[in-house]
Amino acid sequence: MQVKEENGYQFIDEGEGEILLLLHGLFGALSNWDGVVNHFSKNYRVIIPLLPIYTMPVKQAGLEALNKFVEEFVTDQGISDLNIIGNSLGGHVGLIFTLANEDKVKRLILTGSSGLFENAMGGSFPRRGSYDYIQERVAYTFYDPKTATKELVDEVFETTKSIPKALRIVAIAKSAQRNNMADDIPNIKVPTLLIWGLNDTITPPYVAHEFDRLIPNTTLRFIDKCCHAPMMEQPEQFNVILEDYLLNTDYS
């Protein structure tokens, strides 16, 4: 996939048709969505902006600034009628964006989203400089620890070694924990799909049930033997559920 650079934004833009806007999580990367892009870019336009998690000013690091970034990116690209798909922190940003810009959103798809409760990094912030600790925490994010490849662990380890990046991660994580959306999300009117790992340790299944209870127009689907990133761990099942929803859900 080619990463485009345009007007200060880095993003992937593959395929043509109805738009899928993908939002990655706190330690996420564009590559988290490989399975979705490869499958859906044949019939949809798949756009993934690189969120400025590690580059935004530390004092601004938080959900409000991330949502503003997405709003400005959407305006810059001149896109609307969006199917927003957010994983973890990306789902949280998607919730905020949808509430503020419902006229631009067709459907909202959340997978392992924060916004109600999350057990961030297994309950504690990663200790800088401890590779074994980072390896353990990254593995904790997946049902099958083998999904936490050395390449993935190395990437997270290098990120947490950087003091400026670590400061931003802490600030954004705290912003997410403060920003409980239980009182706001009953106002979401667009059709919402919840795709959840049945073995999610970060946002456990009861979080999915709570989203299902609070958001008016929801469909809830669980994937077994799957933790916090279904689109990475069980991409085929994830894509089947998502495709069926996109084809059979009326957004009007």
Domains recognised in the chain with CATH numbers: 3-119+180-248 (3.40.50.1820)
Rounded average pLDDT over 96-124: 86
> Edge-to-edge strand order for the sheet containing 9-14?
3-6, 9-14, 45-49, 19-23, 82-87, 105-111, 192-197, 218-223
Q: What letter represents residue 189's amino acid?
A: K
pLDDT in tens, 145-198: 888 889 888 988 888 888 888 888 888 888 888 899 999 999 999 999 999 999
Position 146 scores a pLDDT of: 85
Position 46 scores a pLDDT of: 98
Cβ–Cβ < 8 Å for 66, 127: no
Burial of 202 from C-beta contacts in 10 A (0-12 / 13-18 / 19+): buried
More confident residue, 126 or 22: 22
- DSSP-assigned letters across all residues of 47-71: EEE---TTTS-GGG-SHHHHHHHHH
Mean pLDDT of the chain: 91
pLDDT above 60: residue 48: yes
Q: 78: phi > 0 → left, psi -120 to 50 → alpha, else beta; which?
A: left
Position 121 scores a pLDDT of: 46
- Label residue 123 by pLDDT band (50, 70, 90): very low
pLDDT above 80: residue 58: yes
Query: Which residues lie across from 221 on neighbouring strands?
Result: 195
pLDDT in tens, 112-121: 999 998 765 4
More confident residue, 119 or 243: 243
Helices 163-178, 89-100: inter-axial angle, 10-degree rounding = 60
Query: Distance (Å, rounded) from C-alpha 106 to C-alpha 239?
Result: 18
Position 177 scores a pLDDT of: 87
